[in-house]
Amino acid sequence: ALEKKVIKSKAGEKIGLPCCHVIPSSQSLHNYRVYWQKNTTDVVLAYAEGKKISQHERYKNRTEMDTRNLTLWISPVETLDNGPYQCVVQHLRFSQNSVVLCDELVFLFVTAEFSKPDITAEVSAHSCESTEMVVRCSSHGGFPKPKISGALNNVSVVWNASWVSESSLSPYNVTGKLLLNVTKDISITCSIEHNGFAKSTSLLLRKINDCIVPTVPPSYNVVTASSIIIIIFLLAITLAARYLLRHVCSHCHKPQDSVEEGVKECTKPPVSSKVTSETSSV
């Protein structure tokens, strides 16, 4: 059975894939054939009798092999390098015959760091009671396909997530979307998780408080009732004014009449004096 080893690396690093055979110090690479293959079909690098006989176009200028322990070095590692590799070693005993010394699989697992999540919030509508927001969280350039999670004031939320990648082995861009009805200031957190690691970003969402209560015009019934009350009030004032004016005038006329009567009485000739004069003449 073929033994399977797993080698982990990050994109951009230099990594060595170990082979299953080490050439003794008493021998040299000239006595061997060595094949490094990917997916058991594509020849990454091959040597025969001490000379390089084949190399895959995509690995040119990025790979080399140690001539003693036959380790395959890849630098810089790309996400497309992810997958199984096979080291096949043959010993050349005679010119026409060869013996397979080992045939072993090594699995290369490549990861790429995602950018720190970026959170944006856009107000779609607001009222006195709440503010409707469209919140987006995005990250890019990572591998493999990540998970996106979040929380509102430490309470978990589920993002409406979408992923974009050129292929299954290409870096991913991820975007999460939430529709929120914010009734008070809240904190939202977005986390991007991959390969056992997570990057998080938090943002404070503030409710809009510049609420202006619209003035409600009075209804028709209210206007009508108010008009009637005002008219009755004005009529009452008018009648009261007339009544008071008449009452005051009646009091003002009485003293004047009394004075005039007194004057008339004073201007009449005294009767008693006339009688006395006539008596004296007699």
How far is C-alpha 130 from the chain's CA centre? 16
Q: How would you list the strands of the sheet with 147-152, edge to edge?
A: 155-157, 147-152, 186-194, 197-205
Fold of 5-111: Immunoglobulin-like (2.60.40)
pLDDT beyond 70 at 139? yes
157: confidence class by pLDDT, cuts 50, 70, 90: very high
Q: Which two tokens stand for residue 270?
A: 């005294």
For the residues 136-143, what does the mean pLDDT come to? 96
Q: Are 18 and 5 in contact (CB under 8 A)?
A: yes
CA 270 – CA 275 distance, rounded (Å):
9
- CATH, range 118-205: 2.60.40.10
The residue that leads in pLDDT, 233 or 80, is: 80
CA 120 – CA 230 distance, rounded (Å):
58
Global pTM reads: 0.66
CA 38 – CA 73 distance, rounded (Å):
14
Which residues of the chain form CATH 2.60.40.10?
A: 5-111, 118-205
For the residues 102-127, what does the mean pLDDT come to? 92
For the residues 217-225, what does the mean pLDDT come to? 66
